[in-house]
């Protein structure tokens, strides 16, 4: 069930009404929201609702055991078991085929034949996201930062439909306390919610899907048919597409949660205005960046050891972060590139960006490093990525028939929007909130009609659904 569809709009209208009618009855509200979230997830494939239930019950059992146990040895065994079960489920569904293919390829290169069976396993949508949420819950309980929630509360937390499929990765410490008291419908930040939903629809339908269908998909599928100029524009276009697509999902999810009375953490903050790769990861997929730092980088030792160990921990974190995105070596390369650039930045003296020119250079370099890495992220295979890079460097004599003015305009808007300040957005929201309900409705209707007129026919799945 995709957000920008009539089906989801109908579903959300029912949930919105039920949410506020049952808010005064906490237990009924929890059962209603759990049923709605399972229905939403089951709309993709009902078989995987059982997997979500298994994950919920298993992690709650580990959490209860962790809270009740006084022995540090037992607690370490329990947290190790929780991590093993969660990563085992994720590994089976997401990485089984990848590891079997890698083993077979290695054996063939040595003149041997592999015998491991290769099964066709369907990847449950959103498994990476709800697995990381479950892990943050049990790890926070192990670290005594969070108390065990009632099982029904934890089930709603893990399945809560706005962010279930593609984030943000909301921690138990951020969402579970919001379940404890009824929300007040008079305190809904409706202006921000409608702004986020509208801007999310615009980014997804007008920019991301347009760039994908007009240039990106064709160039990355067959780079040999395009000139260097066309490939360069397509690479820039993909940088804009993935930002517009993924941030659109986060915007809509945060907006929907606000309409239901809940607050999610922000997930994007103008990442292409970053002045370094480190700054980029403070702005891009913020909830994943925090998760990797708090639960992986710190667990590996963080920066508590020597300089060499700190650099190792940084590189391992980014390599594993790349692998989290997909079961392919190209994602590992993507993560590795970011890891190497972060290591390089850590060794450099702190830069002073005290002039417009130094700020511009820092942003330009960061954007192009990020954009180059996206080539491996987007290419359908490692070899296609190298083909694309080779033609980008060698085919400058060709034409640029595939590059059109609307494509260049969409790229310019996607990048230019990164430089709209939050103060300007807050000013616009304040002006919108002071309008009469009729004027607000009319303005929203006009925006939606404009989006519908500019959008492609049909809605493509969000990019991060595959992760």
All residues at 6 or more sequence positions from 78 whose CB lies less than 8 Å from its CB, including other chains: 62, 65, 66, 69, 142
Dihedral (C-alpha) 306, 333, 168, 466: value to the nearest 10 degrees? -150
Q: Which residue has the higher pLDDT, 99 or 296?
A: 296
Model pLDDT for residues 358-410, shown as the tens digit of each residue: 899 999 999 999 999 999 999 988 889 999 999 999 888 877 889 999 999 99
What confidence score (pLDDT) does residue 113 get? 60
Tokens 């909830």 sit at which residue? Answer: 287
More confident residue, 226 or 101: 226
CA gap 421, 76 in Å, rounded: 46
pLDDT for position 327: 72
Confidence of residue 119 (pLDDT cuts 50, 70, 90): very low
Output the 3-class SS for 8-67.
Answer: HHHHHHHHHHHHHHCCCCHHHHHHHHHHHHHHHHHCCCCHHHHHHHHHHHHHHHHHHHHH
Structure tokens at 76: 């370490």
Residues 6+ apart with CB under 8 A from 14: 36
The per-residue pLDDT for 351 is 76
Rg (CA), the chain: 23
Answer yes or no: is pLDDT of 105 > 80.
Answer: no
Domain definitions of the chain by residue range? 6-185, 190-276+351-466
Which residues in 151-190 are b (16+ Cβ under 10 Å) and which e?
A: ebbbbbbbbbbbbbbbbbbbbbebbbeebeeebeeeeebb
Query: What average pLDDT does this structure show over 324-345?
Result: 89
Q: What is the mean pLDDT of residues 349-361?
A: 84
Q: Alpha-carbon distance 82 to 71, whole Å?
A: 16
Output 261 or 303, whichever has higher pLDDT.
261
Distance of CA 422 to the CA centre of its chain: 21
Residue positions annotated with a catalytic role: 325
pLDDT in tens, 134-174: 999 999 999 999 999 999 999 999 999 998 887 799 999 99
pTM recorded for the entire structure? 0.90
* pLDDT over 70 (residue 99): no
Write out the E strands in 108-228.
none
CA–CA distance, 240 with 367 (Å, rounded to integer): 11
Residue 29 has pLDDT above 60, yes or no: yes
Proportion of the chain in helix, strand, coil states, percent, rounded to 5: 75, 0, 25
Q: What pLDDT shows up at residue 244?
A: 94
């Amino acid at each position: 069930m995709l957000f920008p569809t009539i089906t989801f709009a109908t579903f959300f209208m029912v949930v919105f009404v039920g949410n506020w009618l049952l808010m005064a009855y906490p237990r009924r509200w929890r059962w209603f929201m759990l049923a709605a979230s399972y229905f939403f997830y089951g709309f993709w494939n009902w078989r995987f609702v059982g997997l979500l239930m298994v994950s919920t019950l298993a992690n709650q059992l580990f959490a209860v055991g962790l809270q009740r146990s006084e022995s540090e040895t037992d607690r370490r065994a329990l947290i190790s078991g929780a991590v093993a079960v969660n990563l085992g489920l994720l590994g089976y569904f997401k990485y089984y085929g990848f590891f079997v293919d890698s083993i077979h390829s290695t054996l063939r290169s040595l003149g041997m034949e592999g015998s491991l069976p290769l099964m066709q396993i369907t990847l449950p949508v959103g498994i990476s996201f709800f697995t990381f949420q479950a892990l943050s819950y049990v790890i926070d309980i192990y670290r005594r930062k969070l108390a065990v929630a009632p099982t029904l509360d934890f089930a709603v937390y893990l399945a809560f439909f706005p962010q279930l499929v593609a984030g943000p990765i909301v921690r138990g410490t951020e969402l579970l306390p919001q379940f404890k008291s009824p929300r007040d419908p008079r305190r809904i930040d409706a202006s921000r919610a409608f702004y986020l939903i509208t801007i999310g629809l615009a980014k997804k339908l007008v920019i991301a899907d347009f760039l994908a269908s007009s240039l990106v998909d064709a160039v990355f599928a067959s780079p040999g048919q395009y000139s260097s100029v066309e490939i360069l524009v397509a690479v820039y276009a993909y940088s804009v597409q993935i930002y517009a697509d993924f941030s659109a999902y986060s915007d809509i999810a945060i907006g929907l949660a606000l309409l239901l009375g809940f607050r999610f953490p922000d997930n994007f903050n103008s990442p292409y205005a970053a002045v370094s790769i480190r700054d980029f990861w403070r702005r891009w997929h913020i909830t994943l960046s925090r998760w990797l730092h708090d639960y992986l980088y710190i667990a590996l030792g963080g920066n508590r050891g020597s300089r060499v160990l700190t650099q190792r921990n940084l590189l391992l974190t980014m390599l594993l972060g790349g692998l989290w995105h997909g079961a392919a070596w190209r994602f590992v390369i993507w993560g590795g590139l970011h890891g190497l650039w972060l290591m390089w930045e850590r060794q450099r003296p702190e830069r002073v960006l005290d002039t417009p020119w130094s700020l511009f250079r820092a942003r330009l370099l960061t954007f192009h490093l990020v954009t180059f890495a996206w080539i491996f992220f987007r290419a359908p295979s490692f070899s296609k990525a190298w083909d694309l890079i080779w033609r980008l460097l060698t085919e400058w004599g060709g034409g640029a028939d595939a590059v059109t003015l609307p494509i260049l305009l969409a790229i310019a808007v996607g990048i230019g929007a990164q430089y709209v300040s939050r103060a300007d957005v807050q000013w616009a929201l304040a002006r919108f909130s002071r309008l009469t309900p009729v004027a607000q409705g009319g303005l929203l209707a006009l925006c939606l009609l404009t989006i519908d007129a500019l959008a492609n026919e049909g809605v493509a799945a969000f990019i991060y659904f595959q992760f």
